[in-house]
């Protein structure tokens, strides 16, 4: 893992991923997977992204006064996601690299299209009690297999109609939960050897640098335009992975 090429790839990937997260508030896992899945494999890319993902979302989960309120409302969603990830990682551990690359490409493309179109699904209303664990469980399986949680997990959270500050904290709480579950599941399947864990720790450094740079830029450019360029690029990357997996 500690070759010059790998260290350079990890440095550039998480510098860019941190920059984008700082600029628009999201995008670190998709960038990490889009850059590293093809040369390193989906399993290695997901393992390395764990450290930076957990560290950058701790403050988001703990900041604000709504933590207890969110836990009471979202506990079934989070618990189902936590369990669902274990099933997703079980599939991941037994799946071939080409198939994983194709599935990841498909979900990255879907993630990008959903983000570009910004669909509004109806609020669950009185059905929230039953839909929360379903959305969390399905999202957890998808996240365990591909490292993306947007469909249906994040879309469901958006449908709850949370205020902006509460939504930001809910996203942080969700990402911490699913990242910790993914880390435990990867450890259970021995998918994170020590050298990968060390380089995941190193990846935190360029991520934080990129995050600081992106945060500075946030108020100097149009967020809408930046988001559009980012998701179009991610759509192209996802389509490339899918084509590569199908045609070799």
pLDDT at 70: 95
State residue 182's pLDDT score: 95
Q: What is this structure's pTM?
A: 0.84
User: 76 pLDDT band (50/70/90 cuts)?
Assistant: very high
Percentage with pLDDT > 70 across the chain:
96
Give residue 248's pLDDT: 64
Rounded average pLDDT over 120-147: 92
Split at pLDDT 50, 70, 90, the class of 120 is low
* Element containing residue 33 per DSSP (H, E): helix 28-40
Q: What is the 3-state secondary structure (H, E, C) of 43-83?
A: HHHHHHHHHHHHHHHHHHHHCCCCHHHHHHHHHHHHHHHHH
Secondary structure, 3-state, 120-178: CCCCCHHHHHHHHHHHHHHHHHHHHHHCCCHHHHHHHHHHCCCCHHHHHHHHHHHHHHH
Task: Please tell me the predicted confidence (pLDDT) of residue 209.
Answer: 95
What's the mean pLDDT in 190-216?
90
Percent of the residues in the chain that have a pLDDT greater than 90, as a whole number: 43
pLDDT category of residue 220 using cuts at 50, 70 and 90? confident
Q: How much is the average pLDDT of 200-214? A: 93
Is 242 in contact with 106 (CB distance < 8 Å)? Answer: yes
End-to-end CA distance of the chain: 24
Q: Which pLDDT score is estimated for 119?
A: 64
Number of domains comprising the chain: 1
pLDDT score of 1: 65
Measured between alpha carbons, how far is 210 from 117 in angstroms, rounded to an integer? 27
CA-wise closest residue to 237 among 23, 13, 35, 27: 35
For the ranges 35-39, 202-206, 223-227, which has the lowest average pLDDT?
A: 223-227
Q: How many residues in the chain?
A: 248
Range of the domain at 76: 4-247
């Amino acid at each position: 893992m500690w070759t010059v090429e790998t260290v350079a790839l990890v440095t550039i990937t998480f510098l860019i991923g941190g920059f984008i997260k700082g600029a628009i508030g999201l995008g670190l896992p998709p960038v990490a997977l889009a850059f590293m899945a093809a040369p390193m494999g989906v399993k290695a890319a997901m393992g390395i992204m764990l450290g930076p993902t957990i560290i950058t979302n701790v403050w988001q989960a703990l900041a604000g006064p709504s933590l207890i309120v969110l836990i009471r409302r979202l506990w079934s969603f989070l618990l189902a996601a936590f369990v669902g990830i274990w099933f997703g990682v079980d599939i991941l551990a037994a799946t071939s690299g080409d198939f994983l690359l194709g599935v990841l490409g498909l979900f990255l493309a879907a993630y990008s299209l959903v983000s570009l179109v910004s669909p509004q699904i109806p609020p669950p209303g009185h059905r929230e009690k039953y839909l929360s664990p379903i959305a969390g469980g399905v999202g957890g399986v998808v996240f365990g297999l591909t490292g993306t949680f947007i469909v249906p997990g994040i879309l469901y959270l958006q449908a709850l109609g949370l205020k902006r500050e509460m939504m930001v904290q809910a996203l942080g709480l969700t990402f911490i939960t699913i990242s910790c579950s993914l880390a435990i599941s990867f450890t259970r399947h021995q998918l994170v050897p020590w050298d990968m864990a060390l380089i995941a720790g190193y990846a935190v450094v360029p991520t934080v640098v990129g995050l600081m740079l992106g945060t500075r830029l946030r108020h100097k450019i149009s967020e809408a335009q930046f988001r559009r360029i980012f998701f179009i690029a991610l759509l192209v990357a996802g389509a490339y992975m899918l084509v590569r997996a199908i045609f070799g």
